[in-house]
Structure 1
Amino acid sequence: MFLKKVTLLRDRIPAADQYPFSIPAIQALDSLHFKKPICFFVGENGTGKSTLLEGIAANIGFNPGGGSRSNSFDVGASSTQLEECLRLSWLPKISNGFFFRAETFYHFASYLDKIERNDGNNFRDYGGKSLHEQSHGESFLNLFSNRFHGKAIYLLDEPEAALSPARQLTFLRVIHDLVKQKNVQMIIATHSPILLGYPNAQIYSFDDNEIKEVSYEMTDHYTITKYFLQHREKMLDELFKEDE
């Protein structure tokens, strides 16, 4: 455990009606306490979970487009100023780690290709070859398996985006092996009920216009998926009945 708390400094907010401070969950934020090495952010699209994760990453000094502090490439994303309004409380403070964004992973892979042409030997931490020469799922897993090490903090935005259910289970094993080292912290924004099932993880929900800690069984991801699997025909009948 390295990052203990994130606090929103309200006196630095430029305008309450300005994005992303206008997002209800961000607007209601006081502070978040991280109690376990694995913490998940969950919630509907647009609730602010990825926005807050990006703000934390930028505050640490990670490239907003993804990567570590040493990676520098532009994906054309405009600053939300959220990182300037956050105070991160550490014990101890570290800067090692990585910010993974599924949305901009293509740009990160292209950046690696560019520096590989100039410097060489940069693929050793990514499966030994260009991420563009691997399938989407393979490139994700090779990054997680080879690039992630101990004494670091990892922020991941929708790492399940290119992973099949079986590969998501493989990723859970990667997380487990890293946590066994007892010097890794991960904060993960996800929609995956498989990843959310990681044992003893902390889960923050961004739904209902607030950020609150919930159990796995209280997440919509669990309840909707469970109900669908148990009552598939009934649920589909209800979903499509207006077409009859």
Structure 2
Amino acid sequence: MVATPARLLLPTAARRLLGASAARTTARHLSTSPPARAVLYDHHGPPDQVLRVADVAPAEIGDRDVCVRMLAAPINPSDLNRVEGVYPVRPPLPTAVAGYEGVGQVHALGPAVDSLSPGDWVIPSPPSFGTWQTYIVKPATAWHRVRADVPPHYAATVTVNPLTALRMLRDFVNLTPGDTLVQNGATSIVGQCVIQLAKLHGLHTINIIRDRPGSEEVKNKLKQLGADQVFTESQLDIKNIKSLLLTLV
């Protein structure tokens, strides 16, 4: 997937935010994680008012635990909604760590872990704990190994938007190669993922975007991703939209 979120805590930016000097080395066995910093909140409210950066005490690494040094974590609207307290699924308070997705590198392993190795890249599976911190200790079963030869911002964002797009294509209608689908909001990350997945599976897409400055540039970008047709809302402001769409199929 080439779609990326608008804002991403990449390694340099994350270290600047957290003031961390994370070690670049990995170790097979440690009793505790290195000292870490995290973005925390103790109660719900506007993110710019309730989020705080704080030191986190080293966590014990159990026999089946994995200590992961975070490499990148995105800032999704759902992350902010959790902080605000308006998202259906929220971590318990007080002292919750923000962040839901991300990619990290295995820093150390418990002695009973044989499914991962130091240096492996991993993502939370499923995404269910705070990723806006420099080190995380969780059971090995909470991590899924991913390829380390892809950009970190791709790996960090694979679990929410791309999988949402995949389920939209698979869970409601039995689409087969050659079928055509119509979507609005095509410039969203999910929309861009729909375009790429549809192209990969031989599906055609008719995409609708908002009227805005630079819309022609946006159209070209979506077509480069694999979109067959891209229209602005004003282009479809006609009486018989169904007939128009049928001529494009």
* TM-score bracket for this pair, using the shorter chain length: under 0.3
The answer to which structure, 1 or 2, has the higher relative contact order (CA under 8 A, 6+ apart) is 1
What TM-score, normalized to structure 2? Answer: 0.25
Which has the greater radius of gyration? Answer: 2
What TM-score, normalized to structure 1? Answer: 0.26
Structure number with the higher strand fraction is 2
Structure number with the higher helix fraction is 1
